């Protein structure tokens, strides 16, 4: 690998240190001096904090002059809570900027053009693997920008006969330990975990992201509850200050979460809440865990989706199948309704 490729791989690692629960994309930056040596590193630590380029330039100091800034996302050219990264790069006197992917956000795009106008050589990295990695790093954030609302991932677990709970209401645990840990790993990429008040009252969930020892991770998504019942007094969510969305309208819930900075909602349940989002066509991804077990009687994992005939069957694209212990994880994307726009 070239020095630039090595620096970009490092920048991608730095970017992952940024919080997933943030309205901004995760970005990393490495600054090389004119001899190709690393003199500064930085990443975006959250809304209102210095952007990755600014943090890396601060560590590099005057050694950045005549050097190269290697950054995972095209430097922004706009002023938000902080100033434009392009201005910082120009002031630092860097000679070259290499980025992994262009910034498709219309409010922030155009940074490369501004840098070129200032006489800085700007290019996109040639390594397709690094480009793909950079795309994946901000995929959910970019999708949210395109949608103008948070991306919604619906997760559920079921038995082979489609049950999400037993006849007596118990539901822990349908799947085994590997699948449950996988849920926490995926939750960590969302900035909000959302349940309905029914689930909040019945299960009294923590809605945290935990490591393999069962301890809460340092970075936690927002915990939110949607519905008109409020929180059960003394419940975990009530004691820890979960966000209450006192509405039954999924569009309104997402509007409020967007205003709070949410860009990726992990929809945990229950089945009724998920059905509301599905019927409103607000589910963008589905993660289904299937256990090799039967319950017979019991609550279905999926509630009424408003499908009345086989002609209206809701088909999904199967993106991935992974075995986790004895369980299967299916990752799916709803396919467009062929009747829409007709």
Catalytic residues: 53
β-strands 264-269, 192-196: how paired?
A: parallel
Burial 213-245 (b: 16+ CB within 10 A, else e): eeeeeeebbbbbbbbeeebeeebbbbeeebbbb
3 state SS of 53: helix
CB 157 within 8 A of CB 289: yes
- Tell me the chain's radius of gyration from C-alpha atoms: 23
| Nearest residue to 194 via CA among 142, 237, 159, 235 | 237
* Nearest-angstrom CA–CA distance, 191 and 258: 11
């Amino acid at each position: 690998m070239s020095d630039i490729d090595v620096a970009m791989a490092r920048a991608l690692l730095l970017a992952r240190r940024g919080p997933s629960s943030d309205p901004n994309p995760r970005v990393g930056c490495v600054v090389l001096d004119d001899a190709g040596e690393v003199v500064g590193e930085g990443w975006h630590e959250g809304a209102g904090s210095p952007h990755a380029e600014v943090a890396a330039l601060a560590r590099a100091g005057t050694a950045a002059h005549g050097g190269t800034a290697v950054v995972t996302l095209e430097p922004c050219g706009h002023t938000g809570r902080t100033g434009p990264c392009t201005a910082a790069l120009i002031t630092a006197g860097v000679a070259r900027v290499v980025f992994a992917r262009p910034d498709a956000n219309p409010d922030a795009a155009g940074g490369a053009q501004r840098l070129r106008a200032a006489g800085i050589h700007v290019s996109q990295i040639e390594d397709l693997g690094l480009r793909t990695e950079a795309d994946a790093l901000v995929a959910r954030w970019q999708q949210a920008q395109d949608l103008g609302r948070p991306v919604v991932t619906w997760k559920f677990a079921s038995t082979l006969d489609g049950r999400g709970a037993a006849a007596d209401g118990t539901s822990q645990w349908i799947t085994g330990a590997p699948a449950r840990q996988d849920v926490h790993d995926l939750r960590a990429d969302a900035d909000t975990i959302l349940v309905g008040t029914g689930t909040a009252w019945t299960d009294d969930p923590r809605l945290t992201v935990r490591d393999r020892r069962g301890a809460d991770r340092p970075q936690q998504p927002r915990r939110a509850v949607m519905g008109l019942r409020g929180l059960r007094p003394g419940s975990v969510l009530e004691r820890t200050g979960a966000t209450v969305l006192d509405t039954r309208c999924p569009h309104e819930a997402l509007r409020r979460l967007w205003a709070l900075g949410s860009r990726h909602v992990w929809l945990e349940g229950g089945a009724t809440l998920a059905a509301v989002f599905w019927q409103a066509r607000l589910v963008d991804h589905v993660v289904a865990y299937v256990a090799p077990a039967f319950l017979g009687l019991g609550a279905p994992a999926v509630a009424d989706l408003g499908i009345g005939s086989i002609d209206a069957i809701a088909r999904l694209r199967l993106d991935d199948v992974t075995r986790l212990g004895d369980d299967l994880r299916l990752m799916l994307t709803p396919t467009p309704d062929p009747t829409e726009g007709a």
